[in-house]
Structure formats: C-alpha cells, structure tokens
Amino acid sequence: MVNLELYRVFYTVAKSGSLTRAAQELYISQPAVSQSIKQMENQMGVALFNRTHRGMELSIAGKTIYHEVEQALALLDEAENKITVLNATATGTIRIGATDSIFYYILADRIAQYNELYPGVKLELVSSTSPYTLSQLKEGKCDVGFINLPVEDDDVKFYGTVALLSDVFVAGKKYEQALKGEKISLRSLQEMPLLMIEENTIARRALASFTSTLGITLNPEVEAANWDLMKKLVINGMGIGCIPREYCTKQLDRGDLFELDTDPALPVRGVGLCLPKNVPLSFAMREFVSLFTGKNSQQ
C-alpha cells in the first residue's frame, strides 16, 4: 500500500506542475520530491508523470487517480481541521473532585469565573474527602482533583499548589478572658477541651504528624465531620478548635472567634491540583488548569 505522504507529494506536484514549486510548498528538498514520485511510480508499476521541458505533466495513469487523490486529501484535511477546532474549543464536561470546604473557600469563585468564560463546558462537582478524590482520579471518575496536602501518590500527576492553609487553634468568647492575648504552649492544649476534624482526614493526620515530633498527643473531646460544624460548636463555647485560618476569617473579623497564640505555631500546608497520569488534556481542561496555575498544562 502506498504511503499517504507519497500521495500528498503526487498531488502537490500535479497541482503545481513543477518539482521545484512542489518542494517549496511542502518544505522539503527537490531531490526528496523527485525520489518520492519515483518510489510511488515503482510501487504502482506505472509512470504517473511525463517529464517535459515545461515541467511535470500527468500521464494517463496520473490523470486517472488525480481526482480521487484530491478528494481523499481534502477529506483528510477536513478531518484534521475538525480536530484542530475541537482542541481550540471549550466544550464537553469537566468532573472536578474536592472536599466541600475546598469547593466553598477556594474553588467557588474561580469555577464561576470559568463558567462565565466558557459556558459551553458542563462542570460536575464531585464532593468527597481528599483520599477518595485521589481514588476517583485513578479510576477515571474525575478529570481533575484538588487535594489537601501533604499526599504522596505516584499514580496521579501533581501539578502545583493552588492555595495555602494555615491551621490555627481558635476559641469563642467563653475563653477570651483566660486565653486571648496569652502565649499558649501546644503541650498545655493537652489539658483543654479540643475539637478537631475527623480522624481519617489529611488535615488531622498532618496535625498528628507534627505534634508527634514534639512528643505531644492531642486527643479531642469532639470530632466534627466538617469545618462549619466545628466553627458553630466552638463559637458556642464547647472548646478549642483547630481549623485553617482561611476557613474562619469572617468569624475572626467579627469577633465570634479569636486565634490562640500557640508556641510553636502549626506548619502551613497546601491544597494541590492533581490530574490523572497519561491522559491528554482537552482545550477546555487546559484552560481550566491555567485558571489556577497561570499556565497551560501539557501531559
């Protein structure tokens, strides 16, 4: 079977009537064009051109196939153009995985911005824990995930940190007189009523990992399923909560909560953007990723 590129060379020579002009149009050398024509003629067993002083003229055999070759190449060009348009058009569906808190505090505004820019893209929000979001990515049930860090998983592609989270201890008005403005050691928190996020979360694991390096074990009296519930309970005086400062700025600004000055302060962690490995990105996905990273993501 004749190589497709040989047909393209044949068509270009026939259309231009010149090996030189065909070479210029195809951005290859004239000898390469001549060799391609000879190779095609050898494979077909017929002469496709008559060489004259005026240039290259189609032979009877060449004229026989010219129209069909022209149509076939036009169809292929049309197919390539459709792919080009597809790759430069924001359509389809993007399935976004994240926790409720990441959606609300970090992603919501940018998701709305993306929807305004590309209304033709359907956005599906898959809310779950960070470990489950990782599983969804690996199983092909999510297209992009936003994960509480730190996480190590070689089966997904981490593409940078999109937000920083500063875990702090906060309390409500009930504890202002005793604790506000005071330097509080982390060790002393072992004796206080604590509220923490559920044990199976990355945030909780990060806290436990840090305090264990100091020989401190913090056992909560209450474990909350989400940050909003924890804020409500802390405001109502149930104890000291550990929560990202970024998730309670409104309550801190209003004075419903105050931040404890702990020694040492808890380390900053992040929210990372993750993509499935070895999956080509559509134009819509590249534009979505660039909204968070400032650059296109290429696999």
Tens of pLDDT, residue by residue over 50-91, are: 988 888 999 999 999 999 999 998 898 887 776 665 555 667
Q: Is residue 111's pLDDT more than 70?
A: yes
% of residues, the chain, pLDDT over 70: 95
Question: How far apart are the C-alpha atoms of 49 and 45, rounded to whole Å?
Answer: 12
- Region of 147 (left: φ > 0; alpha: ψ -120 to 50; beta: rest) is beta
268: tokens are 């900053």
Say what the pLDDT of residue 78 is: 80
pTM for the predicted model, two decimal places: 0.66
pLDDT digits 0-9 by tens, 113-159? 999 888 889 999 999 888 899 999 999 899 999 999 888 888 899 88
Question: How far apart are the C-alpha atoms of 129 and 272, rounded to whole Å?
Answer: 13
Residue 126: how many CB atoms within 10 A of its CB?
17
Instruction: Give the chain as a 3 state SS string.
Output: CCCHHHHHHHHHHHHHCCHHHHHHHHCCCHHHHHHHHHHHHHHHCCCCEEEECCEEEECHHHHHHHHHHHHHHHHHHHHHHHHHHHHCCCCEEEEEEECHHHHHHHHHHHHHHHHHHCCCEEEEEEECCHHHHHHHHHCCCCCEEEEECCCCCCCEEEEEEEEEEEEEEEECHHHHHHHCCCEEECHHHHHCCEEEECCCCHHHHHHHHHHHHCCCCCCCCEEECCHHHHHHHHHCCCCEEEEEHHHCHHHHHHCCCEECEEECCCCEEEEEEEEECCCCCCHHHHHHHHHHHCCCCCC
Q: Is residue 217's pLDDT more than 70?
A: yes
121: tokens are 């893209």
Say what the pLDDT of residue 297 is: 43
Residue 282 main-chain phi, psi, to 5 deg? -75, 170
Q: Which amino acid is at 240?
A: I
pLDDT digits 0-9 by tens, 159-199? 889 999 999 999 999 999 999 999 999 999 999 999 999 98
Of 252, 264, 267, the residue nearest 188 (C-alpha): 264
- pLDDT (average), residues 86-110: 86
Say what the pLDDT of residue 86 is: 53
Distances (CA, A) of 130 to 127, 146, 272, 278: 9, 8, 10, 21
100: tokens are 């409720």
> 15-19, 23-27, 255-259, 293-297: which range is least confident on average?
293-297
Of 90, 132, 154, the residue nearest 145 (C-alpha): 132
Of 83, 68, 128, the residue nearest 103 (C-alpha): 128
pLDDT digits 0-9 by tens, 10-54? 999 999 999 999 999 999 999 999 999 999 999 999 999 998 888
